[in-house]
Amino acid sequence: MVSAFSVATACLNASNRRWCVPAKCSERESRVAQLQLFGRDLPEGFVYRPEFISAAEARTLVGRVEQLSFTQIKMPGVVAKRRAAHFGRSYEYESGRIEHGAEIPNFFLPLRTRVAEFAGRDADEFAELLVTDYPAGAGIGWHRDAPAFDIVVGISLVSEGTMQFRPWPVEKKSERPLRQVLEPRSAYILRGPSRTRWQHHIAATKNRRLSLTFRTLRKSL
């Protein structure tokens, strides 16, 4: 049995599963240690909820998403395979500039209310909706979301993706990334350390995947 005292004064070495004293643990090891005690290796602040929406709701949402106009994502020197539609706020991938954008379509508002309940916030705090269409073979590279955004809640549709996490700043000795499969109809929350002290990425998907990402802003904009 691990006592509260031992959790506070020792940490579990993430690679070899041995207990070590905090002074000798890497920051990453101590950050994941408490989660390992409960059988999960995921960054603090990350929450995963399978079956967040029903199959019928997912079908309706996918039908609505198919009617949206997507744009290519152009980053310096590269055009991404995935396409995006931004609502509430627009985001320029090349400059990182965020501005007021097209209204979030009404049919996404009931979902935004549930997302806000899930995150314990008010619906209108989720000022941005990013809809991303990942064709088979597309993913998203290692990143932290732009600092102007705060809490991120993502819903996966159509097929699964795998979200991986690595500590930020990236440590010299590379560890195996932590990972969570994002099943269709699931939701996740990224907040706190999982937003600021970890990078995430989505590995290239086998099949097409859609994601709906609602984000709050750090400051009103």
Ligand X SMILES: O=C(O)CCC(=O)C(=O)O
Q: Which residues bind ligand X (CB under 6 A)?
A: 130, 132, 140, 145, 154, 200, 202, 211, 213
CB of 214 to ligand X, least distance (A): 11
Kindly tell me which of 25 and 65 has the beta carbon lying closer to ligand X: 65
CB of 136 to ligand X, least distance (A): 14
Kindly tell me which of 29 and 213 has the beta carbon lying closer to ligand X: 213
Where do we find the tokens 């049995």? 1
Kindly tell me which of 140 and 151 has the beta carbon lying closer to ligand X: 140
Is residue 166 within 8 A of residue 43, CB to CB? The reply is: no
Kindly tell me which of 154 and 184 has the beta carbon lying closer to ligand X: 154
Kindly tell me which of 12 and 180 has the beta carbon lying closer to ligand X: 180
Is the preceding omega at residue 169 within 30 degrees of 0, hence cis? yes
E strands, the chain, are 11-12, 19-20, 46-49, 71-75, 78-87, 89-91, 98-100, 128-134, 140-143, 149-157, 161-167, 178-182, 187-190, 198-202, 209-217
Nearest-CB residue for ligand X? 211
**d(C-alpha 205, C-alpha 139), whole Å:** 6
CB of 114 to ligand X, least distance (A): 17
Q: Is 18 exposed, middle or buried (0-12, 13-18, 19+ CB in 10 A)?
A: exposed
Is residue 197 within 8 A of residue 169, CB to CB? The reply is: no
CB of 137 to ligand X, least distance (A): 14
Question: Is residue 109 within a helix (H) or strand (E), and if so which, with residue range?
Answer: helix 109-119
CB of 130 to ligand X, least distance (A): 6
Kindly tell me which of 29 and 185 has the beta carbon lying closer to ligand X: 185
Count of C-beta atoms within a 10 Å radius of residue 14: 20
CB of 152 to ligand X, least distance (A): 7
